[in-house]
A and B are shown apart, each in its own frame.
Chain A
Amino acid sequence: GAGVSQSPSNKVTEKGKDVELRCDPISGHTALYWYRQRLGQGLEFLIYFQGNSAPDKSGLPSDRFSAERTGESVSTLTIQRTQQEDSAVYLCASSPQWGNTDTQYFGPGTRLTVL
Chain B
Amino acid sequence: DTAVSQTPKYLVTQMGNDKSIKCEQNLGHDTMYWYKQDSKKFLKIMFSYNNKELIINETVPNRFSPKSPDKAHLNLHINSLELGDSAVYFCASSQRESGETQYFGPGTRLLVL
The answer to whether A and B belong to the same complex is no
